[in-house]
């Protein structure tokens, strides 16, 4: 689980680590993510969730659904 907004609960996510690069993929995506924001990883989405770690976002990528919506504008 990961959280990029302080006012929202942790959401399902997948942590990837390849060739020294770590990335987090949010299962349902998230709009408006910007470099410099924090991403915090949690054990689950409950009130007693443990913090596993975190870091600062360097860049974000749009999901296929967002790309499709933008192409229709």
pLDDT value of residue 65 = 59
Residue 49: count of CB within 10 angstroms of its CB: 16
- Residue partners of 49: CB distance under 8 A and separation at least 6: 1, 10, 42, 43
Residue 70, pLDDT > 80, answer no
Residue 69, pLDDT > 60, answer no
DSSP per position, 7-64 = TS--B-EEEEEETTEEEEEETT--SS--TT-EEEEES-SSTTPPEEEEEE-------H
Name the residue ranges covered by the structural domains of the chain.
2-71
Q: Comparing 61 with 69, which gets the higher pLDDT?
A: 61
pLDDT value of residue 48 = 93
The DSSP output letter for 4 is S
User: What is the pTM (predicted TM-score) of this model?
Assistant: 0.77
Residue 40: count of CB within 10 angstroms of its CB: 17
Residue-wise pLDDT tens digits, 29-65: 888 888 999 999 999 999 999 999 999 999 887 766 5
């Amino acid at each position: 689980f990961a959280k990029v907004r302080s006012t929202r609960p942790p959401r399902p996510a997948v942590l990837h680590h390849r060739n020294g690069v770590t990335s987090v993929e949010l299962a349902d995506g998230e709009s408006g993510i910007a470099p410099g924001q924090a991403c915090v990883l949690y054990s689950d989405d409950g009130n007693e969730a443990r913090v596993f770690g975190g870091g600062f976002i360097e860049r974000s990528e749009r999901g296929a659904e967002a790309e499709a919506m933008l192409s229709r504008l």
